[in-house]
Structure 1
Amino acid sequence: MGRVAFVAYGAAVSAQRMPAAEVPVSVELVRRLVAEQRPDLAGLAVSVLANGWDNLVCRLGERLLVRLPRRAMAAELVEHEQRWLPELAPRLPLPVPAPMFVGRPALGYPWSWSIVPYLPGHVAAEKPPVSPAAAAVALGGFLAALHTPAPPDAPPHTSRGIPLPRRAEGVAEQLARLDDRSRRVAAAGLWQAVLDVPGWPGPPQWLHGDLHPANILVHRGELSAVVDFGDLTAGDPAGDLSVAWMLFDAEHRARFRAAYGAADDHTWQRARGWALVLALVFVTFSADNPTMAGIGERTLDAVLS
């Protein structure tokens, strides 16, 4: 993957300093865990791909990655992927990093860890697909396959998949931080409009939960994989559909919506509202992350145009 691949594999969106690891993590620990629990892989080279807010991610040979949580909160998110991605992956039309092996706590390390396939490519935030039309069809089809009724024990989430009005306090704070008055007024008007849109009437749907162009990979010009399912949850599918404003212009948003096939007008309006919510988060909390700040700026322009 490209130089910003750490974003797709667990780096947080924030202007704060990266929190310290709650337990020591290192290449040597990865080597020892692999040697103890997967001795058949012990001869493969180990090197750091990313040391993000939540995970140490290492290459393991040419075709594998090791994902090692460095904080308790991240360990819970990794468990979501371990539990659900092997079940969801077979019916999804794009590759996802479903764990191939779930490691157990050992050697003083307290949490489960994963070996996942290495998915080649660059994040779409840095290298957009060559054909936006083909990417719109591919991503719309991917979400159509993912967005199916979720079981009662799907992971809950406090900020994704929820009714839009529950994001109102954060939106108000973030609107106040926009320096451009004209954008602030336009965004406030849009926000008030989407608050009047009826909520999701159906059963909770499976959601990626954190779908943006830094969690989408492009390889050889084509949209090739969707990664980082730690926020996997269930609820209103409009949250995931907000990616249409992050990645596509108006023409290709229409192609994306057609490929998805199940977004009525209310769902589409809520998706635009979610795009606004996330754009404000990315713009106001990414001072040290140019990739996410750029996504926020582009998305805010798109939803206000």
Structure 2
Amino acid sequence: MVIFLSIGWPTGLCCDIWKGVRNVMYGGNANFYNIEVSEYAAVVDALAAAAGAQTWVLPSVGPDYGKLMDQAAILRTRDFPTAMLLPMAFPYTDAGLADGVRRFTDRLGRPAVLYIKAANYLAPATLAQLIEEGRIVAVKYAVVRADPAQDDYLAALLQEVDAQHVVSGIGERPAIVHFRRFGLKSFTSGSVCVAPRGSMQLLRSLQAGQFEQAERLRATYMPLEDCRDEISPIRVLHEAVTLAGVADMGPMLPLLSGLDAAERARVAPVARALREQDGQATRLP
């Protein structure tokens, strides 16, 4: 699961962030890549039933064309406002991906969120055209850079697309740089599943221009984010939720697997420390 922390979600879909995390996205961290189409309806129905009245739930689809089209037919009969297109892998072309987006949104009857995880995944002009057509409502931008301030692809996208459509999609690590240098007003977080208050305070600090405080808050997430980057973002987060005492996540669905004993020993104290720090954070009004 990934949670959108949003200062200004395009088209007014974002709920009031001052009251806490309200936008919940089930994508890579939720291992939606490996959910069977035959169980997809039951899964998304369970998520909808478990959500609060003010919670905005965003399921994901794909990544292959056949799967996303079958899932579009399922989602069309449900009330989710949109769905996120998981990143396509080889083989695909720019024109073919755009055609797939058009066919998917036609079948869904709603615009979609595009997940960009690789540089040059889609040409900036192609993305701009899909947004102009009303087929893409937002982009989760998750291209990892050694220095997030140096990102030619993101800069090129923002030459064609208004920043309001682009969400910083790699957690707390690049959120401040993406906000200050590129004007991205929203970010997603996985570690918020362990420590929601600190991420919400980071968001509030950015909005208020309190960047030193934002940097301090960001720093508390870096030990867990380091584990995720060095071992596996999805697998570490899955185990961290259990090890921090938030919930028993159980085993991972194939084609993924859990951490080994040494990895768990490394992650456990980090996850527990982050949750403890978050418990000491000032509660949101």
* TM-score, structure 2 as length reference: 0.27
> Between Structure 1 and Structure 2, whose CA radius of gyration is higher?
1
TM-score (norm 1): 0.26
User: Which is bigger in relative contact order (C-alpha 8 A, separation at least 6)?
Assistant: 1
